[in-house]
Structure formats: C-alpha cells, structure tokens
C-alpha cells in the first residue's frame, strides 16, 4: 500500500505526495481533488515502470498468476 501525504498550503491549495514513488506530487483545489490526482499520477508512474520491465514490490499483493 502506498501512503499519501497531504498538506494544505497558505493559499488554500492542497499538496498530495506519495513519497515511495519519486515525482508523484500534485496540487489540488481541495483535499479530495488532490487525492484523486495523486492516485491517478501514481497509477501512470506504476504502469510506466511495468512497461519498462520493473515490478514494484507493492504490486505483488494485487496480481496473481
């Protein structure tokens, strides 16, 4: 499971980050929007890693063959 870190900026925007996935950080106008956007970005990053032949260990619990 990937942990999402959330923080609200002084201007009201929210930052969401998944530290286990470098570069997965987004801004959202609301907390919920930031969570949705960071989850979508994380899925894109994980898909790219899989396409490059990398297997993130956290995915082992989601798929079985």
Query: What confidence score (pLDDT) does residue 35 get?
Result: 97
pLDDT band (50, 70, 90) for residue 56: confident
Burial 2-30 (b: 16+ CB within 10 A, else e): eeeeeeeeeeeebebbbeebeebbbebee
Q: What residues make up the domain containing 47?
A: 5-61
Is the pLDDT at 65 greater than 60? The verdict is no
How many domains does one find in the chain? 1
Mean pLDDT confidence for 35-39? 97
Query: What confidence score (pLDDT) does residue 58 get?
Result: 72
Is the pLDDT at 16 greater than 70? The verdict is yes
pTM for the predicted model, two decimal places:
0.85
């Amino acid at each position: 499971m990937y942990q999402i870190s959330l923080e609200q900026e002084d201007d009201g925007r929210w930052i969401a980050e998944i530290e286990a996935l470098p570069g997965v950080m987004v801004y959202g106008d609301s907390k919920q929007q930031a969570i949705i956007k960071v989850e979508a970005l994380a899925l894109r990053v994980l898909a790219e890693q899989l396409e490059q032949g990398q297997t993130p260990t956290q995915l082992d619990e989601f798929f079985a063959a």
